[in-house]
């Protein structure tokens, strides 16, 4: 048995493909259960962020396990298997381990050194662990990846490269527009990155924040940040107040 990784990320696919593949936390268990329905797969964990969708699995056979995971993700995204494989990458055994270490350390991020991904790896493991879809192999892999990620951030100067994608984007906005004090901003998405964006915008002095999401159920923090919540569909043909 070896670890198999099937993934798609910002390095291999455009944003529209990542959006099609995106797996909400509520759907992660369903995806994992479908993968584990195959006798070829004994453990599985899903890491889904705005920049990547990766399935880590312990498989008895490389090609068989690859086919199972690819088919489940293709059906989830609505893409054909052939279309999906154009954007996918595969790592096996030691290469899969090394890849997760790089991801947890922020070395494979859109902004090298960003710290949010370490928490995302931790959460991915927690979801899988709470649903008992990880065993000895993925447990050990996840714990070591988290340990490596912590050491990289504490023992090297990688954090100087950039704290997060959000901080880099905000810096670009300030260089182009000048001071953001008193301005209006729109945050699209109510996930962790959306909440982090609202925090950074508030600190920058933005006067009004409008938070838009596909559903209103996740927008509980919009009001807490001083913003106004709305459905993402309301973006069309509309300007923020």
The catalytic residue among 50, 111, 128, 148 is 50
pLDDT (0 to 100) of residue 220: 46
Q: Is the dihedral of CA 96, 102, 104, 108 positive or negative?
A: negative
pLDDT (0 to 100) of residue 168: 76
pLDDT (0 to 100) of residue 185: 87
3-state SS of the chain: helix, strand, coil percent to 5? 50, 20, 30
Q: What is the mean pLDDT of each run of 10 residues along the chain (241 residues)?
A: 95 93 91 97 96 96 97 96 96 97 91 85 96 97 97 82 69 86 82 72 81 62 50 50 47
The answer to whether 22 touches 37, Cβ cutoff 8 Å, is no
SS (H, E, C) 35-87: HHCCCCEEEEEEEEECCEEEEEEEECCHHHHHHHHHHHHHHHHCCCHHHHHCC
Residue among 85, 102, 95, 99 at smallest CA distance from 8? 85
Could you tell me the domains of the chain? 2-160 (3.30.460.30), 179-235 (3.40.50.720)
Angle at 155 between CA 152 and CA 158, to 5 degrees: 55
**Catalytic residue at 50?**
yes
């Amino acid at each position: 048995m070896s670890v198999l990784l099937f993934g798609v990320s910002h390095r291999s696919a455009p944003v529209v493909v990542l959006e099609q593949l995106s797996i909400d936390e509520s759907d992660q268990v369903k995806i994992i259960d479908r993968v584990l329905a195959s006798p070829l797969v004994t453990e599985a964990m899903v890491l889904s962020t705005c920049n990547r969708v990766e399935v880590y699995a312990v498989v008895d056979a490389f090609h068989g396990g690859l086919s199972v995971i690819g088919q489940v993700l293709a059906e989830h995204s609505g893409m054909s298997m052939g279309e999906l494989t154009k954007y996918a990458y595969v790592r096996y055994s030691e290469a899969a381990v090394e890849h997760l270490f790089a991801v947890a350390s922020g070395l494979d991020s859109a902004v090298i050194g960003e710290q949010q991904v370490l928490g995302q790896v931790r959460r991915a493991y927690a979801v899988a662990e709470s649903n008992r879809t990880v065993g000895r192999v993925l447990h050990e892999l996840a714990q070591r990846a988290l340990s490596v990620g912590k050491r990289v951030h504490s023992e090297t100067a990688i954090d100087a490269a950039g704290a997060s994608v959000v901080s880099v984007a905000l810096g670009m906005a300030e260089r182009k527009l000048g001071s953001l004090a008193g301005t209006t901003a729109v945050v699209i998405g109510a996930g962790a990155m959306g909440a982090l964006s609202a925090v950074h915008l508030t600190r920058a002095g933005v006067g009004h924040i409008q938070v838009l999401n596909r559903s209103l159920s996740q927008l509980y923090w919009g009001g807490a940040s001083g913003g106004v919540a709305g459905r993402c569909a309301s973006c069309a043909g509309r300007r923020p107040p």
